[in-house]
């Protein structure tokens, strides 16, 4: 298992590099410096390249790809 690198902020939240360890956690998804989503990680690839945020209310389940430039903070 890889160790997750965490870059912490004053609030204690931090960027997570190993997405495979985040299933079941509430996270923020960021793209180019803007927060684009908040939700619970439903599923993450074992190679940590993609993750799914669970559907919530009228929002559908959504896939985010690390190679496209998304960052995840938890």
**pLDDT greater at residue 9 or residue 18:** 18
What is the per-residue pLDDT across 34-74, written as a single tens digit (0 to 9) for each?
999 999 999 999 998 999 999 988 889 999 999 999 999 99
Give SS3 for 15. Answer: strand
The reported pLDDT for the residue numbered 12 is: 63
Query: Whole-prediction pTM value?
Result: 0.81
**Both tokens of residue 29?**
């998804």
Helix (H) or strand (E) run with residue 53 in it? strand 50-53
Answer yes or no: are the C-beta atoms of 41 and 56 closer than 8 Å: no
pLDDT reported for residue 64: 98
Would the pLDDT of 1 be above 60?
A: no
């Amino acid at each position: 298992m890889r160790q997750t690198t965490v870059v912490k902020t004053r609030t204690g939240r931090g960027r997570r590099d190993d997405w495979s360890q985040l299933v079941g956690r509430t996270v923020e998804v960021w793209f180019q410096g803007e927060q684009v989503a908040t939700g619970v990680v439903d599923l993450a690839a074992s190679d940590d390249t993609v993750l799914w945020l669970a559907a919530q209310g009228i929002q559908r389940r959504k896939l985010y790809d690390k190679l496209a430039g998304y960052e995840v903070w938890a």
